[in-house]
């Protein structure tokens, strides 16, 4: 056997041993793509990539954009919250967007980001002088403005550009119900 064939055979044998060792056991079941997620919970990251918005969200933007803009204009100069602190947005649209883009980091419990459950209540107390709706809105469009203690500043910085005002307002309205 030539030296080259012997080296190739040795490499194949070594790879076979490594692959056999990796395929056994339950180690892969215990691992998650993001170590801060509970074992077995998988983040939805593909939908968060630019250009991966759902067709329904795009259709809603085309059909309801003018109507929502008028409602937002009536809310006053802030545009994202009424005086009562509730968002001017469609929570059903916000839930769709959240489920497609945010659940990988914001689940029922803390993960890579703060839990969605109780977020509306917590948001009302985060920054003095800001309503919950204002805080959530700013956290979406400028996530580095207020990074919650114990979490890294890893939230995508382009959601203000990626989502329309209607979609962001819908996200705020949905999160206020959590």
- The whole-number pLDDT of residue 8 equals 86
Element (H, E) at 65: helix 55-74
Cβ count near 13 (within 10 Å): 10
Among 173, 50, 38, 149, residue whose Cα is nearest residue 103: 38
Q: Which residue has the higher pLDDT, 5 or 29?
A: 5
Domain range list for the chain: 1-31, 33-176
Q: Can you give the pTM of this predicted structure?
A: 0.52
Asked whether the predicted pLDDT for residue 6 surpasses 90, the reply is no
d(CA 154, CA 137): 17
**138 closest CA partner among 122, 157, 121:** 157
- The tens digit of pLDDT for each residue in 14-47 reads 777 666 665 555 555 554 444 555 555 555 554 4
Classified by CATH at the fold level, domain 33-176 comes out as: Cytochrome Bc1 Complex; Chain D, domain 2 (1.10.760)
Q: Which of 48, 27, 176, 65 is nearest to 105 (CA)?
A: 48
Q: Could you tell me the CA-to-CA distances from 74 to 52, 77, 114, 150, 172 in Å, in that order? A: 31, 8, 31, 38, 17
Q: What is the pLDDT of residues 56-78, one digit of tens each?
A: 444 444 444 433 333 333 333 33
């Amino acid at each position: 056997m030539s030296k080259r064939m012997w080296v190739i055979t040795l490499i194949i044998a070594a790879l076979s041993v490594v692959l056999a060792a990796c395929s056994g056991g339950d180690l892969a079941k215990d691992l998650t793509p993001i170590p801060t997620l509970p074992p077995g919970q998988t983040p939805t990251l593909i939908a968060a990539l630019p250009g991966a918005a759902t067709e329904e969200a795009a259709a809603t933007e085309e059909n309801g954009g003018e109507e929502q803009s008028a409602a937002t204009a009536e809310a006053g100069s802030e545009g994202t919250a009424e005086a009562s602190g509730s968002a001017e947005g469609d929570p059903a649209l916000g839930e769709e967007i959240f489920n497609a883009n945010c659940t990988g980091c914001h689940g029922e419990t803390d993960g890579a980001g703060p839990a969605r459950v109780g977020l509306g209540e917590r948001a009302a107390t985060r920054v003095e002088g800001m309503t919950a709706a204002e805080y959530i809105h700013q956290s979406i469009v400028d996530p580095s403005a207020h990074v919650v203690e114990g979490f890294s500043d890893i939230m995508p910085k382009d959601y203000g550009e990626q989502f329309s005002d209607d979609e962001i307002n819908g996200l705020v309205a949905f999160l206020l119900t959590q």
